[in-house]
Amino acid sequence: MLTNVLIEFEKHVHQVLSSRFPEIENNLLEQSIQQSRALSLVDLPDGDTTLLDQLNEHERLIALLALCRYVSPVLLNRFFTVTCIYPNSGLIGGRIDKEARLFYPTVFTALFLIANGDTSRHYLDADYYFNKSSALFQLGILKPLENEALFKDSELECSPEFIYRIALGKQFYYSFSSEFPASPIVPKEDWSDLILPYSVQSKVEELKMSILLHQQITEHPTMGKRFRKNVIALFSGEPGTGKTLTAGLLGKSLGMPVYRIDLSRIVSKWVGETTKNLRNLLDVAESKNWLLFFDEADSIFGKRSKGTGEANDHYHNQEIAYLLQRMEEYNGFVIMATNLGINIDDAFRRRIETEITFMPPDKDTRIRLWEKAFHDSGLTFRVRGPKKLGRLDLAAGDWSSPDEGISLEEIAHYWDRVTGAKINKVMKRLLIESLKQNTSHLPSGVIVQALVTELGPRKL
């Protein structure tokens, strides 16, 4: 139980502080007795503490020290007392809020605690426990440190996933906010519903396997070090050609959450804000096995300006350089989407593992899309062979018109600039008409009328 874990942690804190500051031992001892009694009466939920079993002794202490500020800040009162008695010593680090009588531990506090109060050993283990590849960050226990240059002064903050898991035994789900400008893509469709030109579909399948086998490839005993620790793909093509749906279905089929980044909340006119916003987002997403989807990516990963000498261009180029470096370091999966692939900065393009151009569906693909749409809708019609439709009185496209029949080949031939989204609009109109007439069998004239209304007239 979490209560028992915290009681053991409280005993260790008391032991370290009372041995390091014996002159205030009585004060600390009294606090220790009171807090142990208080903890024993607290009815904390039965959370999932198994994650702590994956940590060594010192990592466990650091995790619990960071956790206390959220679930039991009273356990940090003794640090508050020491800081108030020795306000300028800096012996235990941390930040205090005198008005609220709260203590917020920092990296320095953690180093003090794992060194059992021996300040001469403060810096020995700093890099081991607080680099990005340590277990505390790889397991998603701690948030990334805010001040990397002076990281020992950074406050220890737990990730919301860890807090929910250890305190409540529940999974935490991110929602859109100013700090997390992204929303999940959760398609209702399944992988079998994805219909693309065969050349595009095969590249998507390759990308899917690349993501699925990424960990095995990067952990290869001899070749693994040669490969990037991320997978970055670029989807380019006209709107409505399936870029967003494909990204969502990739995540769904691989069991990975997909988040669509709201770039309007990332890109800022203020110098340095764009890089800060993107850094915060990537810090949250790092090592979480998410798929990040940057729609209209050229607004942030666009080409750099060349030699205009203007200050705005200078800062924009600096931001692009930083983004390039951060994406190089990012440990995860990214899909960038754009209407025009040529707008992406050349340096980014060199780091893209897979580039897929989503073309408008060709005739064969259009036939498959219509077949799928009619099959799923349950609507039927009189089918005739693929021959010229001839002149049709579109104004008479109602239920009383003679039914000459129609073929999907004709529909795909005459209405050639369609996408899945446009087909859905046609099918919605036909379903409404079907429900009005209480029948699932449609005359060809009604189908043609729906096509003309939604997709425009064609010379038949």
| Beta partners for residue 383, in sequence order | 406
State residue 445's pLDDT score: 86
Q: What is the domain partition of the chain in residue ranges?
A: 2-168, 182-358, 363-455
Angle, vertex CA 150, rays to CA 149 and CA 155, nearest 5: 120
State residue 396's pLDDT score: 42
Residue with tokens 């605690």: 113
State residue 207's pLDDT score: 95
Measured distance CA(455)–CA(216) in Å, rounded: 47
| Grouped pLDDT means (10 residues each) for the chain, 460 residues | 82 83 69 57 68 91 92 84 77 86 90 79 70 86 74 86 88 78 90 91 95 91 88 90 94 93 75 75 82 85 60 65 80 88 77 90 93 94 62 47 77 88 93 94 89 81
Q: Which residues contact 318 (CB under 8 A, 6 or more apart)?
A: none
State residue 434's pLDDT score: 94
Task: Report pLDDT digits (tens) over 97-109.
Answer: 888 888 999 998 9
- The bridge status of strand 182-184 relative to strand 258-261 is antiparallel
DSSP string for 361-403: P-HHHHHHHHHHHHHHHT-EE-B--SS------GGG-STTS--
Measured distance CA(411)–CA(401) in Å, rounded: 19
| Beta partners for residue 335, in sequence order | 233, 293
> CA torsion 113→114→118→123, rounded to 10°?
-110
Measured distance CA(160)–CA(163) in Å, rounded: 5
CATH class in words for 182-358: alpha beta
Distances (CA, A) of 398 to 385, 393, 450, 458: 22, 10, 10, 18
Closest among 302, 191, 327 to 251, alpha carbons compared = 191
This model's pTM is above 0.85: no
Measured distance CA(114)–CA(110) in Å, rounded: 6
State residue 395's pLDDT score: 44
Neighbours of 81 (CB within 10 A): 18
Contact 278, 320 (CB under 8 A): no
Closest among 389, 390, 392, 409 to 401, alpha carbons compared = 392
Measured distance CA(68)–CA(5) in Å, rounded: 11
Contact 333, 257 (CB under 8 A): no
State residue 175's pLDDT score: 80
Measured distance CA(72)–CA(167) in Å, rounded: 11
State residue 373's pLDDT score: 94
State residue 306's pLDDT score: 62
Maximum pairwise Cα distance, the chain = 103
Handedness of CA 324, 325, 329, 331 (dihedral sign): negative
Measured distance CA(144)–CA(142) in Å, rounded: 6
Judge residue 327's burial from the number of C-beta atoms within 10 Å of its C-beta, 0-12 exposed, 13-18 middle, 19 or more buried.
Answer: buried
Q: Which stretch of DSSP H or E encloses residue 352?
A: none
